Structure 1
Amino acid sequence: MKLSEGVEAAIHCAATLAGVEDGATMPGSALAAQFDLSPSYLLKHLNAMTAAGVLESVPGPAGGYRLARAPERISLLDIVLAVEGPQPAFRCGEIRQRGSVKLPASAYVKPCGINVAMLRAEKAWRAVLASEKLSDIVAGFMNDADPRSVAAACAFVERYQRPQKSSSLKRQERK
Structure 2
Amino acid sequence: MKIGKGVEWVAHACAILALLPPKRALSKESLAEFLGVPAPYLAKQLQALSRSGIVLTHRGAKGGYRLAKSADLISLWDITASVEGTAPSFRCTEVRQNGPCGASEKECAGPCHIASAFARAEAQYRDSLGKVLLTDLVAAGTNEATDSRKQDIGLWLEQHATSVA
Q: TM exceeds 0.5?
A: yes
Q: Which residue of 1 aligns with 2:68?
A: 68
Say whether 1:55 aligns with 2:61. Answer: no
Contact 1:74 1:134 in 2 (8 A): yes
With over 3 angstroms needed to count, the CA separation of the structure-2 counterparts of 1:99 and 1:40, relative to structure 1, is: farther
Question: What is the identity, as a one-letter code, of the residue corresponding to 1:136?
Answer: D
**C-alpha deviations, 1:92-145, integer Å up to 9, x for none?**
222222233323222211211111111111111111111111011111111123
Measured in 1, the distance between the counterparts of 2:59 and 2:69 equals: 18
Say whether 1:115 aligns with 2:115. Answer: yes
Contact 1:76 1:132 in 2 (8 A): yes
Measured in 2, the distance between the counterparts of 1:11 and 1:136 equals: 12
Contact 1:141 1:150 in 2 (8 A): no
Q: TM-score, normalised to structure 1's length?
A: 0.88
Q: Which residue of 2 aligns with 1:80?
A: 80
- Residue 108 of structure 1 aligns to a residue whose secondary structure is coil
**Offset of residue 55 of structure 1:** 0.3
With over 3 angstroms needed to count, the CA separation of the structure-2 counterparts of 1:99 and 1:157, relative to structure 1, is: farther
- Residue 66 of structure 2 aligns to a residue whose secondary structure is strand
Q: Which residue of 2 aligns with 1:98?
A: 98
Say whether 1:126 aligns with 2:126. Answer: yes
Unaligned runs of 5+ in 2: none
**Offset of residue 39 of structure 1:** 1.3
Unaligned runs of 5+ in 1: 167-175
**Offset of residue 148 of structure 1:** 4.1
Number of matched residues? Answer: 165
RMSD of aligned C-alpha atoms? 1.5
**Offset of residue 150 of structure 1:** 3.0
Measured in 2, the distance between the counterparts of 1:81 and 1:43 equals: 17
**Offset of residue 155 of structure 1:** 2.9
**Offset of residue 162 of structure 1:** 0.5
